[in-house]
Structure 1
Amino acid sequence: MKYLNTQDADFKAQLKALQAFETAQDPKVDATVATICADVQQRGDAAVVEYTNRFDHTCAHSMADLTLSQQDLAQAFLRLPESVRTALTTAAQRIESYHQHQKQASWSYRDEDGTLLGQQISALDRVGIYVPGGKAAYPSSVMMNAMPAHVAGVPEIIMVVPTPGGERNDIVLAAAYVAGVTQVFTIGGAQAVAALAYGTETITQVDKITGPGNAYVAAAKRRVFGVVGIDMVAGPSEILVVADGSTPAHWVAMDLFSQAEHDEIAQAILITTSADYALQVEAEMNNIMPTMPRRAIIEASLNNRGAVILARDLDEACEIANYLAPEHLELSVTQPELWAPKIRHAGAIFMGRYTSESLGDYCAGPNHVLPTSRTARFASPLGVYDFQKRSSLIQVSADGAQKLGEIASVLAHGEGLIAHARAAELRLKQS
């Protein structure tokens, strides 16, 4: 891991370089995705089956071979050990409970002249959730995408998940069962995104697509945005741990590993005010590394994008955190509630030594679909609000039309839009 010190003359340049990550669309990936999306739009099911067989090495003859029933999901749930079933249902209950607090209600009020103004909240009709199925199985992604949609009142939740080699993962399908997913198709990649966006003979077009995926999935989501909504274009996973030395070093070492093990380009950063503590964490990482099943991925991640930053104090550490705007931020300090208000930009803030980021990934309750690549400066976690939309309510009274009509007439004439002006003027009482 790289070592940075805020007192170095070129610290800002080093910090900027640490964040340098090529997020621009790869022209080759984009060209491939463009072809796939156009083909799915034109040929529908046939194209989806063809690409699924090619990329996932399956032997499907039709979409029927790639479609799962509710009975399939229920059987997957029942095949799991009781401990896993309990973990899934408990996590789902916590996630649902948290997201219930995000529900928004319609509202309205009346002006003194009787004009009604307000906002009507309604759920999307149909959403598609993409669940990765390559390097690992992600039942947590199923619940984090489906549960807020369910709480929002979305009646149809369609899940797509690749099954390389045709192998279906019971825990992923069980999570879909627990989370109330209405349809599941065992397809992935750009072809799955295109099928959700454009619709096929078997898959009904959705209104919005959420969930992370590889570069091809990200490119496809970019391409179909506008035809449907998307949540975000997710980048590599990130964790930033701000530590004052009060947390056992091996706890922090494992927290850094927890994100590094996702991918070779994931990022794990430690900011501490103690050089001695930084050395302790590094020593623990060296001790633990040989025991990690995903050691090669962790080492590549830490070598590529990992870092330790020595800060003068926690105030400076918080400012660096705000610049980095990480996906996951652990405030592994005493009295974290005093420092959390200083954090302006982070996808999720994990407060205190006992709050490992992994608890947020699975079962704490808040959503783990979070903004990456510094987009936490302007973006928020996935939530119920992503599956609802707002319509303005306007009911102008006869008296209100007199006051508003004069204002609208003046402004419309100023813009040269005479029909606008006359439409307002027609409702004015004639003197």
Structure 2
Amino acid sequence: MTDPLRVALAGLGTVGGGVIRLLDANRDLIARRAGRAIEIVAVSARDRSKDRGVDLSRFDWVDDTTALARSDADVVVELIGGSDGPALTLARATLGAGKAFVTANKAMLAHHGLELGEAAEAAGVALKFEAAVAGGIPVIKGLREGAAANEIARVYGILNGTCNFILSKMEAEGRDFAEVLAEAQALGYAEADPSFDIDGVDAAHKLSILASIAFGTRPAFGDVAASGIRHLLGADIAEAAALGYRVRLLGLAEAGPNGLFQRVHPHLVPLDHPLAHVTGSLNAVVAEGNFVGRLLFQGAGAGDGPTASAVVADLIDIARGEFGPPFAMPVASLAAAPKADSGERRGRAYLRFTVADKVGVLAEIAAAMRDAGVSIESLIQRGASGEGSVLVAIVTHEGPERSVAQALEKLRGSQSLIGQPMWMHILG
């Protein structure tokens, strides 16, 4: 009889508890699919006394998380989080000890994925991270295995459930960002400090991982241009709807002759595009292959069940002895792609200004656009957004992004503008 796959689990939060419950609930099915049982033999977390709703007495408790790498486990699962600190120490110790490593830690992979991939290859063990991107959606496996024969033109999608929940609420109820964010925090969809989510950092971590797998490039989180939804107004959502769009925070990566382009930014998404209909805390990823065409991966991007599902799927692969290079090809084959110049990209844009309600403001904005070579498709002025101010929304014709950036720079410091303009790309 084949010996069980012995698992050491670091981190007993929402996802860690979900992994234990999933292994308990589907034990027989998992064993049949894996070809052998999968058993947790040791656990570690910060607080031994905390009630986590699962029976931990059957597992060895290890106070020093790093010691899990020296236990009798075959594989270590890391669900601690954080790009450095204990998570990275455990990853290095595990791979250095010649044990397989499974993680849901997108920040650590975005910053240290290349190093960890090299360590896994040198040790001849698995480094797997399906749960690091889009929760329970098998997008890593889909790109690394299912679409392996394709040249991917671009990969993009909704990578942060918190932001999508907020945008969906604003869209459905006509409320402003700050009010909906407070509700998301009360419901547990957003952290007390939501900066990583609402400023696009979390999505940027995930995008850098997807881009590496899709294009065979080294993970380059530092090259991802990230901005979030912090400055979005309810009026922007309403204006987008009037124009036939919905606002979504998208991560987009595209490889071209001038390098690798990676950006997280709010977009206006046409109503006939599948991403316009992804609501709530769901995630969705689109990959475009030269033979397979457009692939859409959609589902729950977070939560104990979906994320635990992805973690255990990785364990099943390891139990079967099925694993290859972490980033779809050996680290030595990953290209060091230069960062593409976003100014050369062409597209249409939505620009929103809050301006003083006085004569000459529209002419000043139009002149800045003209001087920068931006062609205006439509210019709309709405009623007062506050005492003495109005909203001006512009949709541009297709043109280089550099021109839009130059126009906004010309308007920087203008006494007519109140607050920061909002620039959103229109998904082509």
Higher relative contact order (CA 8 A, sep 6+): 1
Q: Who wins on radius of gyration, i.e. which is larger?
A: 1
Q: Whose helix proportion is higher, 1 or 2? A: 1
Which TM-score applies when normalising by structure 1?
0.27
Which TM-score applies when normalising by structure 2?
0.27
Q: Whose strand proportion is higher, 1 or 2? A: 2
